[in-house]
Amino acid sequence: MRDDRLRRGDYPLKPVSNKQRTWLRWGCSASLASAGILGVASGCADSEDTLTSVEDAAVVPPASEPDANASADGVDAGDASDATDCDASDQHCNQVVVTCADTDWCPTKSSVDVRYSLAAIWGSSATDIWAVGSAGTVLHYDGNAWTLDSPFTPATLRAIGGTSATNLWAVTTIDGIFHRTLDDAGVASWQKAPPAITTATLSVYSPLRGVWAAGNDVVVAGDLVTIRPTGFGKPSSYYQTWQTTSDGAAWVSIPGADTLSMNGIWGTELSQLWIVGNSTARGGVAFRRNAVDGGVYSGDAGDAGLPGWTETDVQTAQRLNAVWGSGPNDIWVVGGFGTIRHFDGAGWQIVESPTTDELNAVWGSGPDDVWAAGDYGTILHFDGATWRSTSTAWPLGQKPHLYGIWGSAPNDVWAVGQEGTLVHFAGKFVDAGAAQ
């Protein structure tokens, strides 16, 4: 479960001085001695305000003297909490100054206010990448630099997806769906789309957490929507065929099931969609869109003759946060407590995970190159055989939660998260088997 959160970014990073680092290492050595003597009872080592743990002692490089001025390698000194927020024995903490030369992932200065999180990231290519988040933050990368758009909503934009820079969707609530497109003058701008439900009042505030688009189709997903004053139980996803003229564009509900909070959508086309989330009754859920075969629906037909969803057994009680696949027979989902599941075309398998931290996002370039990002700076990589932790040149202090991950290629991957965090992988693994 999550520890106390970071304080808001009022505290500048104070690089630990050379003297202080020396004494930290003394402390680590002493704890090594004590833990060895006490054997199994590592009570001395792991108590909160006593000694550093053996694991941390191993991480401290005994000989090298890292740079005191960490910002030289692109690590932004301003983007971290006070190092005292974090306990030396806590794996969620970074107590050692490391540079990008020594890690797989490298932080990038994003110019996003440290008071805001980036909640999602998606791109159409290496030179057109979009990240969105708290307080309507919209950040764009053109291959050269990251620049901020003017916010058009005070709400948290929770998901972003599309087909291009001029067919781009960002969502926060039923009545908070925004579409970037070309206006009549051929200028690209963000416009507010009609709400996914128009008949109700309270339901327009219902949050959306997933968006997906392909061709002229858009699907958004979120919580169960309660309609007042009458009726309950509208399903959690809505679909629209986007026409070039606004006439005729309307959201249609895709029937789901019971009390669901849906978080992620992935698929190659509208007839091959997966949607994942959480059921308060049974935990993690994964639905596959019923296939359409020459006009004949298999499975339930939904509203307006649209195919509905079929639930699959994803074998977890933990909520599922994200889904991605390289094809219909190679699909990954991730979720709470480090949960990872894989679908091979026949069914879901339980996959061993190297972490119990919550995993929030998953993306890959192919069956042998898949990434997952999650709480406390967790970034995992799958190489076709196993999932391993990867390393990041975090600033000192508690590592930020990561909420989104996307790449254009195996050597160009971005992850985003709390406090405007933006980190990049350029294709080089520092140590084939190492974890931080």
Partner 1 sequence: MLRTFARRGVPIAIVTCALLATAFTGCADAVIVAEGPDRADAASDAPTTSTFTPPPASDGGSSSAEPEALPPMCILTECPEPWATCGASYKCGVNLSNDPKNCGACGVVCPTSVGPLHVGSTCAGGSCQYDCTPPASDGSAVYRNCDGFIENGCEVNIQADANNCGACGNKCADGLRCVLGQCGCPTGTTDCNGKCVDLLNDPSNCSACGNACSQTVAPDGGTLPAAPANMKYTCQAGQCGALVCNYPYQDCDHDRSNGCEANTQSDVNNCAVCGNVCAPGKICAPDGASNPGISRCICDFGTLCGGGTTGQNTQCADLQTDINNCGSCLNKCPGQNIPNSRPTCDQGVCGIECVDGFGDCDGNPANGCETNLTMDGSNCGTCGNQCDLGAGQPCIEGKCAMTDCDGGITH
Q: Which two tokens stand for residue 52?
A: 């550093």
Rounded Cα distance between 374 and 336, Å, is 9
Is residue 421 a contact residue for partner 1 (CB under 8 A)?
A: no
Choose the stretch contacting partner 1; rule: CB under 8 A; options: 33-41, 124-132, 250-258, 389-397.
33-41
H-state helical runs in 239-278: none
> Strands, DSSP E only, in 294-418?
296-297, 309-312, 320-327, 330-335, 340-343, 348-351, 359-366, 369-374, 379-382, 387-389, 397-398, 402-409, 412-417
**What residues contact 40, with CB distance under 8 A and at least 6 apart?**
none
Q: Are residues 398 and 85 in contact, defined by beta-carbon separation less than 8 angstroms? A: yes
Binding mask 241-260 for partner 1 (x = CB under 8 A): --------------------
- Residue 134 within binding range of partner 1, rule CB under 8 A: yes
Q: DSSP assignment, residue 411?
A: T
Query: Least CB distance from residue 107 to partner 1, whole Å?
Result: 17
Rounded distance between C-alpha atoms, residue 262 and residue 157, angstroms: 15
Task: Work out which of 88, 168, 286, 314 binds partner 1, going by CB under 8 A.
Answer: 88
144 touches partner 1 by CB under 8 A = no
CB of 173 vs partner 1, minimal distance in Å = 5
Among 15, 123, 176, 377, binds partner 1 (CB under 8 A): 176
Which residue, 165 or 211, has its beta carbon nearer to partner 1? 211
Give the nearer residue to partner 1 in terms of CB position, either 74 or 207: 207
**Using an 8 Å Cβ cutoff, are 184 and 208 in contact?**
no
Q: Is residue 272 exposed (0-12), middle (13-18) or buried (19+ Cβ within 10 Å)? A: middle
- Pick the stretch among 57-65, 303-311, 317-325, 340-348 that binds partner 1 (CB under 8 A): 317-325
* Site for partner 1 contains 381 (CB under 8 A): no
Rounded to 5 degrees, what are φ and ψ at 405? -150, 135
Name the token pair of 210: 């997933």
Among 34, 71, 272, 315, binds partner 1 (CB under 8 A): 34
Q: Per CB under 8 A, does 10 bind partner 1?
A: no
- Which residue, 19 or 346, is less far from partner 1 as judged by CB? 19
Q: Kindly tell me which of 12 and 215 has the beta carbon lying closer to partner 1.
A: 12
Report the nearest approach of partner 1 to the CB of residue 189 (Å): 19
94 near partner 1 (CB under 8 A): no
> Which of 47/268 has CB closer to partner 1?
47
| Among 180, 234, 399, 401, interactor with partner 1 by CB under 8 A | 401
224 to 138, 258, 316, 320, 326: CA distances (angstroms): 27, 8, 20, 16, 29
- Binding of partner 1 at residue 395 (CB under 8 A)? no
Provide DSSP, 79-139: SS--GGGS-TT-TTEE-S---GGGSSEEE------TTS-EEEEEEEETTEEEEEEGGG-EE
- When asked if residue 30 is in the footprint of partner 1 (CB under 8 A), the reply is yes
Question: Which DSSP state fits 229?
Answer: S
When binding is defined by CB under 8 A, the residue of 94, 108, 110, 117 that contacts partner 1 is: 117
Does residue 428 touch partner 1 according to CB under 8 A? Answer: no
Q: How far apart are CA 395 and CA 382, in angstroms?
A: 25
Q: Quick one: which of 11, 146, 297, 337 contacts partner 1 (CB under 8 A)?
A: 337
Judged by CB under 8 A, the stretch of 15-23, 68-76, 103-111, 268-276 that binds partner 1 is 15-23
Q: Which of 15, 52, 181, 211 binds partner 1 (CB under 8 A)?
A: 52
Contact between 199 and partner 1 by CB under 8 A: the answer reads no
Please give the size of the binding site for partner 1, defined by CB under 8 A: 69
Q: Is the dihedral of CA 40, 22, 394, 11 positive or negative?
A: positive
Question: What are the φ/ψ torsions at residue 339 (nearest 5 degrees)?
Answer: -60, 135
Residue 58 touches partner 1, criterion: CB under 8 A: no
Residues binding partner 1 (CB under 8 A): 1-6, 8, 19-20, 23-24, 26-27, 29-31, 33-34, 37-44, 46-52, 83-84, 88-89, 115-117, 119, 133-135, 153-156, 158, 172-173, 176, 201-202, 205, 207, 228, 261, 283, 317-319, 336-337, 356, 401, 403, 418-419
